[in-house]
Amino acid sequence: MSYVTIDSPVGPLTLVADDGKLTSLFMDAQRHAPDPASFGEPADPADEPFASAAAQLAAYFAGQLTEFDLPLAPAGTPFQLQVWRALQQIPYGTTVSYGQLAGQLGRPNASRAVGLANGRNPLAIVVPCHRVIGSDGSLTGYGGGLDRKQFLLGLENRQQPLS
């Protein structure tokens, strides 16, 4: 396992990979982030998948990329993995509620469980958990902080409210 840290408009991002696949993407001060000692050894940012991830993230932040195409290998429970796959199906620039996402998974009464799995997403931005909002349209919870969630949603709608 190895990692790199890159700069972004939402602060430093730490990318962790194992066997050529991205396993994690954490923001600084992110809730539920593991101990950095578990990230492995520092890597060369020119190594894959880091170089591709950094290029795609730069294009995303520049408004030129709407869907990531990276080799991913997040670790989670079967239910978490199901939720994280569903997150990747939420189109760029749109939002869904936790309840809607639970319904799409065929578990309409599992909005709280969906919220918990969403909060444990280890691949922020790339697996767009920021696109999930409260049923009343409010920006509820985000491991990277609500200001970053608002920024990412604004970016996808061509508004950038952070700063």
Active site amino acids: 129
- DSSP assignment of 34-95: PPGGGG-EE--TTSTTHHHHHHHHHHHHTT--SS----B-----HHHHHHHHHHTTSPTT--
Cβ partners under 8 Å of residue 123, min gap 6: 22, 23, 24, 25, 72, 74, 84
Say if CB 121 and CB 143 are below 8 A apart. Answer: yes
Name the nearest CA neighbour of 98 among 68, 143, 67, 136: 136
Say if CB 121 and CB 127 are below 8 A apart. Answer: yes
- C-alpha separations of 64 from 74, 75, 135, 156 in Å: 25, 29, 29, 10
